[in-house]
Amino acid sequence: MSDASRKFLIGLLLLLGAGATVGWFYDHAVWGLLAAALVALAWQVRQLLSFDKALRTGNFDDFRYGEGIWEQIFARFRFERDRAARRKQNYRVLLREVRKSTNAMPDGAVILDANNEIINCNRAAKELAGLKRKKDRGQRVDNILRDPGLMHLLHSEDYTSTIEIMSPVNDNGWLNCRVVPYGADQKLLLLRDVTERIRLRKMRRDFVANASHELRSPLTVISGYLDAIADDEDMPESWAKPVSQMKKQAARMQLILAELLELSRLESAGPAKSDQPVDVLGLLESTTEALGGHADVARVVIDAESSAKLQGSSTEIETVIVNLLSNAIRYTPAGGDVTVSWRTGADGADLIVADTGEGIDAEHIPRLTERFFRVDKGRSRDDGGVGLGLAIVKHILARHDAELIVTSEAGAGSVFRCHFPVERIAVEPPIPLAGGG
Ligand code: ADP
């Protein structure tokens, strides 16, 4: 118990004692006690009412708290009030600092609630995406930034992927979007201006496409003359080898140009369109027939677990199969096995080409789909490899929302798995009932 509380109780007891004593002198001790209690109560009620008034009006100057417990209560109250005011001020300064720093960020940040409605955004988000802090508060962000990819990203709870969308405020602008979880059930949509990066990517793509295109015509002329020289019966004997070498290299250059042009086409076109569902199993059979079955190459077996069709481009899927199968055959010795499989299930579809060939060291696997990457450059070149096959495969798969997963062990063989999402599996139309009508 504090000193003030003790003093208060002692004072109260003394007052009640004095009242009782005075009453006792007049033979009415109880009345005396009662009168003293009433005096004590009246004083406390007065203090209480005046404290209540001071609280309501905020004017504490008129509040006469006297000494003792009321003084202590008031001192405590004043201390807490000042502390709360100090805290509020600190928070205000902190908030101002946070707002200043988020506004200074070059990237846009939009705070979203669980329904993707805008809670707040920084200045960069306003500039990059044309958001208005007050007007757009409470609006769904996918109603303002209308892009199917962004809608998918917001609903997928995928916090690692990023997508690129066209800027809603600048015709030639591009924004990179990423979603990260934030607080309880909130999300932060981060926007970055990638216009320059996209422009450079397009420039590089256009340059490669134009250069390949321009080189094709002179190369056709050179190849034509080389063919004519090779066919010329008067050609000196000593020219035979160099001419044959030149023809081989010219053919190789034509192959490189054709593959570079194919890559450019794949890069610049949108998602693969499908007119008719692709008969993957049929393509596996025809490709196996064309590439396998030779005496000096590995045995190719088809493991068909499904006959389901795929939504996509038939020619592109055929390119994938040809590239993977020809690689498997090239990198597997004649006694080895190559297995091509087609499986579909609840989690999607898999096109798998597995071989028991030379395999690939783990360190090289992440680089396989880079342009011109070859584990053994000399060896691949001698085999006619260009190093663009898997880059083409990767692009085609991306256009089909699919991914390439490579597992391999040096000396033991490799597995190239193309995984397609379940949405890409074509739904068979129902078989009409016989005799129905
Ligand atoms: P290339 O025309 O050289 O085959 P690719 O892009 O098709 O180019 O393949 C890139 C490299 O990946 C190849 O040079 C080879 O080193 C490696 N590779 C591809 N497939 C296989 C496989 N089935 N087994 C072993 N290595 C492979």
Mean pLDDT of 415-437: 78
The Cα 331–Cα 334 span in angstroms is 10
Single-letter code of the amino acid located at 377? K
Q: How many CA atoms lie within 13 A of 83 on its CB side?
A: 6
The residue whose CA has the least distance to atom 8 of ligand 1 is 387
Q: Which atom of ligand 1 is nearest to the CA of 375?
A: 16
Mean pLDDT of 407-427: 93
Q: Which atom of ligand 1 is nearest to the CA of 376?
A: 16
Q: Which atom of ligand 1 is nearest to the CA of 373?
A: 10
Q: ∠182-104-106 over CA atoms, to 5°?
A: 75
The Cα 61–Cα 16 span in angstroms is 31
Q: Which atom of ligand 1 is nearest to the CA of 377?
A: 14
413 lines ligand 1 (CB under 6 A): no
- What does each C-alpha distance from 125 to 25, 140, 144 come to in angstroms? 86, 15, 12
Q: What is the pLDDT of residue 112?
A: 92
Total Cβ atoms within 10 A of residue 152: 13
The residue whose CA has the least distance to atom 18 of ligand 1 is 327
Q: What is the pLDDT of residue 311?
A: 92
Q: What is the pLDDT of residues 328-347, one digit of tens each?
A: 999 999 889 999 999 999 99
354 lines ligand 1 (CB under 6 A): no
Q: Which atom of ligand 1 is nearest to the CA of 359?
A: 25
Q: What is the pLDDT of residues 244-296, one digit of tens each?
A: 999 999 999 999 999 999 998 888 877 777 767 999 999 999 999 988 877 78
In the predicted structure, residue 235 carries a pLDDT above the cut 60: yes
Range among 120-134, 402-416, 423-437 rated most confident = 402-416
In the reported structure, the alpha carbon of residue 374 is separated from the centroid of ligand 1 by a whole-number distance in angstroms of 6
- Supply the pTM of this predicted model: 0.69
110 lines ligand 1 (CB under 6 A): no
Q: Which atom of ligand 1 is nearest to the CA of 386?
A: 2
319 lines ligand 1 (CB under 6 A): no
The residue whose CA has the least distance to atom 21 of ligand 1 is 327
Mean pLDDT of 363-373: 93
- What does each C-alpha distance from 215 to 120, 220, 403 come to in angstroms? 54, 9, 32
Q: What is the pLDDT of residue 53?
A: 84
380 lines ligand 1 (CB under 6 A): yes
In the reported structure, the alpha carbon of residue 387 is separated from the centroid of ligand 1 by a whole-number distance in angstroms of 7
The Cα 406–Cα 390 span in angstroms is 11
437 pLDDT tier (thresholds 50, 70, 90)? very low
